[in-house]
Every structure is written in C-alpha cells, then in structure tokens.
Chains A and B, each alone.
Chain A
Amino acid sequence: MNRIRIIKDRIAEGLTWLSSGISALVLIAIFVFIFKRGWSTLNWDLLKNNYNSENLMAGYDHIDWDEHGAFAAPDTLPENAFFSEKYGVAFVDSVSAAKESQMEVVFLDPESPLQDGKITTAGPRQGDKLGLEEGLYLKKISYINLEGDKKSAGLTATQGKTSEELVSVLDNDSQEVVDFYAQTEGGGLKGSIITTLLLIGLTLIIALPIGVFAAIYLHELAPKNKLTAWIRSSIELLSGVPSVIFGLMGMTMLFQVTRLMGITGQSTMLGALTLAVILLPVIIRQTEEALINVPDGYRMASLSMGATQFQTIYKIIIPNAMPGILSATLLSISRIIGESAALIFTMGTAIMDNPAWNTRGTSLAVHIWTVMSGEQPNFELASAISIVILIIVLILNVSVKYLTYRMTRDKDDQKKKNTKVKVKATTET
C-alpha cells in the first residue's frame, strides 16, 4: 500500500466520522431544544387531565345570608392567596399550560355559605349540591351589591380579574352571592394520547394484513412479468405523493366508506383508513425486503418435503420474515405518530376527551398543530407534547425490538437444539 492510498482511506474514514458526528449533534440539539422548552410544562396532571374543562354553575337562591359571620384565614394558606373574610374562601392567581389566566379556589371554610350551592344547569344533575370547592377554577361570581343591584366579578367579567381585586369587591361591595361559574382543570392530553394509540391500533389492523399479503403475492406468487413490475413501481410511486393529497382523497372517497359504517362526520376510522393507504407502500416495500432475505433453500426444502405453496408461505416464509415485518410495523408507527396534514382533513382539529373509533379526535401531532395555529403560539406546550410523543415512540420501539429479539432467540435456541440432536445422532451412529 502506498502513501496516497493510506491518505485517501483516512479521508474516507474521516468523512464517516464527521457525518456520524453531525447527525449525533443534530439529534442532541433537538433533544436539548425540546427538553429545555417542554420539561417544565410536563407533569402528571397534564397527561391525565381532560382537555375540555367541565363548566359548572351553581346558585345560592335558597340561602339565608344573615346567619353567617366573619371567617378567619387558616394558617396553611399559601402566601400568594387572597382570603375573603366575609365568605371564608381563598383564591390564587395562576397561568395554565395553555397560557391563560386562572383563578384557583385554594380554600373554602367548611362553615362557609358558599358550600351550599345548587347546580342550576338543566340536566340530570340540576339541584345537586355543589359548593365553590377547592380545586375549582372560578371564572365568574355574581353578587348583590350594597345598593341591591346584581353585579358580577371574575375573569370573564369586567371587574375582579385578579384574586386581590375579586376578594376586595366581595368583602367591600357585596351583600350576598347569587351564583358562580367555575371550571374544572382542563388543557390535558388524555384524549389526544388515547386517540393516538387508537389510531395506531386501527391503522395497523387495516394496513398490516393488506400490506403483508400484497407483498407475499408480489414476491412469492406473482409471475415475473411486466404487469408485476408495473404494479410494484406504481406502489413505490405512491410513497412519493404528499400526505395532504391523501387527506383530500380520504375526505371525499373514503368518507363514503365510513358513511356505510354509520359515521356522519370526520372520525378516527376515516383517519385510520387514510393513513392505511399512506402506509401501504412502506409496509409492502419492507415486507418484500424481508421476504427476499428468507433463503431460497427454505422454500425448496419445504416444497420438496411435500408441503403445498401456502403451507410453505404460512409455516416457513412468514415466520422467517417476521423480524422484517415487525420493523415495517415500527416504521409505520413512527409515520402514524408524525402525520398531521392528512389527519386535519379526516379527523378534524377539535380536541376530544372521550374519543372512540367513530368520533372525531386529534392525534398528538394534530394537537401540536392546534396549539401552534392559534393567535398565541405555545412552544412550551408543543415541546411538552413532543416529549410525550418521544416517550410513546420509545416505548413502542423497545417493545417491538424486544419482540423481534424474543423471536430470533427462540429460533436460535431451536437451531442449537437441532444441531445438538444432530451431533448426538452422528456420534451415536
């Protein structure tokens, strides 16, 4: 080897170092970006809460307001809380994950007249007892002021937009409280997480069998002629079509399919059908790749033992191609989680808390779209959702890898056993 050869090799080697270094750096940069922005927003409540808060309204028409005296603030109140001595209730100002101002009730005296509210909203719960309990977020409170007029204060009113103001209005200007309007905590990701998992499940149920069988046909059964080649290349062409186009197609064509199932609007099913179409090329390509890797000797051996072609496919080829099919699944899952354009058309952008296969919903990626498309972009929440997505992808990846490992290990074990038996047999003879 001469010097020039060595230098050339070194350069080539250096290039590989550099490239892997760059990819690693980019990855790190993304990690740092997402974690730095999103980590502080992410917490357990965000994951398990509903997105839409429950809106509650309770009235105090039936209460005799003269009986109640002054209340004393408990020692356990947080420092930033404001306490109303007249009604024995304390509020704290905060900002939600969606960057909206909130007014949380942090304390309500057990003796307070505000304990005895009754729900005024028409429905099965009308007349049930509901106080201005701790943990609720007050939006508005209506009261009778000293002149006897009905006024309101709170976040959705024109006065009393902070806890301090509200407490001073209640203590100094009110005779009695008429009703209040409060919300439970919202803004959570529960619905979107469920939708994402539901979408992954539904899409895979539809796309995997079709894709795998199509690949088996193309590779094992189809005659090797121009038509097959044409089908194969058009499938590959499909993977280059932008997903928006698939979304529009889903909205007009596949919608007729879901309509037959009795669904009147956008639905997770429609999204899953559309995604299944998008995923077909990926799955077919990957599965074919896996089928190519199954040694021809297996097929020959199986056929020569008298097995039919379909026995060979089901008992020999598919089990041996399983790791490849699983990696196709893995790719599909990443694609489903990352897709947003097609889903905006087919599943809508309304975030639902109790999604089902036949209702609208948003996957986490579309949830990010909704968060970022409003008047006020919320990078923190978007990054927090990205972390959730990363975690879900990680869990799914690890479990699929584990499955693959288990399968190949089982096979290796069997091989070892077989060779042992063979060795025994040979030694015995």
Chain B
Amino acid sequence: MKNLKKILVLVLALVMMISVVTACGGDKKDEKEEKETKEEVKKEEKTEKETEKETEKETEKETEKKTEKETEKETEVEVEETEAEAPAGEMTGQINVYTRDAASGTREGFESVVGFKDQLTDNANEVSSNGDMATKVGEDAQGIGYVSLTTDFEANNLQPADYEGVEPSVETVIDGSYLLSRPFCYTTRAEGDYESDELEQLVKAFIVFLTESTEGKEAVLSAGGIVDVEDSTPWDELKADHPIVDQDNSGLTITTGGSTSVEKSLNAALEAFQPLAGNFDKVVNQTGSGDGWKRTLGDDKDGPNASDIGFASRNFKDEEPTEDAMSADKYCDDAIVVVIEKNNPVTNFTQENLFDIFTGAVTNWEDIAK
C-alpha cells in the first residue's frame, strides 16, 4: 500500500511537470491537443494503478466511469463543432442576450438610447466588465451584447454591428449620425476646496488642456476617446493663462476617481500633460461611475478616497448636482457598439430590433424583423 501511494504521488508530480512544460512551450500545440495528451497521461496513470490493484471489479467500475466521462466530453465537443459550423447565410436558433452589471455606465447608456429601462429580459446573462462581455460574446455564436468602441474586436473574435444602418466609427459619432453613444464627463471639486491653491490652478490648467488644447484632444483620441481635434487650440497659445505650468510641480499630485471606462483616455491625457506642466504626479484611482461625483462633491469628498477630478461614463444625474464644481462638462464621447460573434451574418440592428431582443420579445435569430 505504501509503495502504491508513493507511485501515485510520483505519477501526479510527473503529470504536473509535463503539463507545465507543455504549457510553457505551448505555441506549437493547440489546447485540444494538450487536453488529449493530458488525458492519455491520465489513462496511463490509471492503468498503472489498476494493474497494481489487480481487482477486476474495480477496473470494470473505473472503465465504466471513464467511458461515461469520455462520451460526455465527446458530445460536448460535437455540440461545439455543430455550433461553429452553422450555415453562413441564415442565422437560426436561440439568441443569448448578454448585459453588463447594474452599476455599469455602458449599460445605462445603452438602455437609455434603446429605451428599455427596467424591461430587460430575465434570460439575460450578466457580465461584470466590458472585457468580460467581449470575451463571453466572442465565445458564443448565438450571443449578442454591447461594448465600447475602444474594444479590440478582432482579438475577442467579435464583429461590430451597424446601428440603424450606420457603421460605428470616430467620424460617424462626431458628425452625429451614429446614435448609440455615451458621453465621458468630468467634474472637479468646488472652487477653493483643494489641498492647496497651486493644486487648484494645476487642475484648472489640466481641464483646459483636456477640453480645449490640440495636444490634449489628440492624446484622448489616440486612446480611443472620440473628440473633434479640428476644433481645438494649440497648447502654446492656451498656456499663457496658466503660469502654474511653468514651475516645478513635482510636489503636486492630481488625484482622479470615478469611471473605469475613462481610464485609458484619461491616462493618455495626464501623461501628455505631465511634461508640459512641471512633472506633477498623478493618481488614477478609478472604481466606477458612481464614485466620480461622490468623491469630488458628494459624501466621500473628505474621506480617504477623495479626488480632485471625478469622472462618469454617462451624464451626471439630477441627484449629482455639479453647480458647485469649478468646472464640469463632457470631454469626449464613447460609442457603444452592439457586438456579435465573428461569423454571425446579422450585421445591422435597428432600435426596434434591439428593443425586442433585450426585452425578450424576440428570442430566436430567425425572428428578428428585417
């Protein structure tokens, strides 16, 4: 018995080593192959065990179990294959609806544009982040969901769908023809409510940089935020009003809070502003749209996570009044894009289509109104 245990432990360790090694040199084999090899190893391991035990009943039981498992796995694989091989021309079968969590700014934007607040179908799968949505819909041939335009569609096996016949792109959002978009908004603390007077001036300068300067808008655009760069002024002309940027600001820290969706474009703008404004420090402390107003003007404004600028990937609500703020406005747009799996032939949705799908009135792909 003792030897048996030792052998088992050794075999397990061996399998682990093999799997780690195959994983590290992984590029040559794809995942399926690896699973197979793993299973083979497992079989070997089991046969070893069995021979050592030399009890026929046991082996019978084990093989039974094994075959059951294998057949299960095989059927799973078959299902996957049939899904993948669905005919390219016509889409049939159930629609799997994906939606974001209730705290999401993207969901709020999407629901208000399509107009189905509180009517979401009970069959919707809730996902926790934009990235989660991209991955899940990309893996589901029957799935439909929505993400922001900055998402890498190719990498997630997705295709962006047109909305009312308009293709989602920077140009169509700026000219207003693509209607499924949401604003990225900011609000600052109230005037005089900063750690120091210098910080207040620096925040003021950054807001001007972010919303008016060519450099700032270009940085936002390069990070996926949608702004009209044509309508801007070079920073060299703007900076005359902000002498704070011509001194060493390495002791100052701009702290931001709020939406995680803005993080990329905000970081790009802050990084571009750093060398133009005396190398101030930045703390980008994003947790979600709901915290943007709360941490600059609301209850948490003097708490441990107080921020100088708060962001929301939606308009500030009525219960989030920004009148006290030194400055509060939209700084760019983000288009919400309806996404489907790459091989899905349905590539255009109207507002009506989306309303039907997301409220559960239409549950099959073939029933979508053309």
Across the interface, name the chain B residue whose C-beta is closest to A255: B304
B174 interface residue, CB < 8 Å from A?
no
Q: How large is the interface on A (under 10, 10 to 19, 20 to 34, 35 or more residues)?
A: 35 or more
B residues 296-345 near A (Cβ < 8 Å) are 303-306
Which one of B243-251, B346-354, B359-367 is at the A interface?
B243-251
Q: Count of chain B residues with Cβ under 8 Å from any Cβ of A?
A: 70
Across the interface, name the chain A residue whose C-beta is closest to B306: A265
User: B131 contacts A124, CB within 8 Å?
Assistant: no
User: A266 contacts B304, CB within 8 Å?
Assistant: yes
A168 interface residue, CB < 8 Å from B?
no
User: A99 contacts B278, CB within 8 Å?
Assistant: no
Residue of B148, B222, B229 touching A375 (CB-CB under 8 A):
B148
Across the interface, name the chain B residue whose C-beta is closest to A38: B23
User: B304 contacts A265, CB within 8 Å?
Assistant: yes
Cα A314 to Cα B75 with chains together (Å): 63
Which chain B residues border A35 with CB–CB below 8 Å? 20, 23-24, 26
User: What 0/1 pattern do residues 115 to 132 of A give for CB contact below 8 A with B?
Assistant: 000001111101000000
Residue of A36, A121, A155, A252 touching B276 (CB-CB under 8 A):
A121
User: B278 contacts A32, CB within 8 Å?
Assistant: no
User: B132 contacts A158, CB within 8 Å?
Assistant: no
User: What 0/1 pattern do residues 126 to 169 of B give for CB contact below 8 A with A?
Assistant: 00011110110000000000011011100000000000000000
Cα A157 to Cα B215 with chains together (Å): 8
Interface centre among A158, A252, A378 (most CB of B within 10 A): A158
Please give the distance in Å from B220's CB to the nearest CB on chain A: 9
B271 interface residue, CB < 8 Å from A?
yes
Which chain B residues border A7 with CB–CB below 8 Å? 57
- 5 further A-B contacts with Cβ under 8 Å, apart from A121-B278, A350-B283, are A28-B38, A31-B23, A158-B229, A161-B222, A374-B261
Provide 21 A-B residue pairs closer than 8 Å at the C-beta atoms, listed in order of the A residue: A10-B55, A25-B42, A28-B15, A32-B34, A36-B34, A39-B23, A55-B271, A55-B274, A123-B248, A140-B215, A155-B222, A157-B222, A158-B221, A265-B255, A344-B287, A346-B304, A349-B286, A374-B130, A374-B260, A375-B151, A375-B224
Interface residues of A, Cβ cutoff 8 Å to B: 7, 10, 14, 17, 20, 24-25, 27-28, 31-32, 35-36, 39-40, 52-53, 55-57, 99, 120-124, 126, 139-140, 150, 152, 155-158, 161, 181, 183, 251-252, 255, 258, 264-267, 270, 344-346, 348-350, 352, 360, 372-378
Interface residues of B, Cβ cutoff 8 Å to A: 8, 12, 15-16, 19-20, 22-24, 26-27, 31, 34, 38, 42, 49, 55, 57-58, 61-62, 129-132, 134-135, 147-148, 150-152, 215, 218-219, 221-222, 224, 229, 234, 245-250, 255, 260-261, 263-264, 268, 271-272, 274-279, 282-287, 303-306
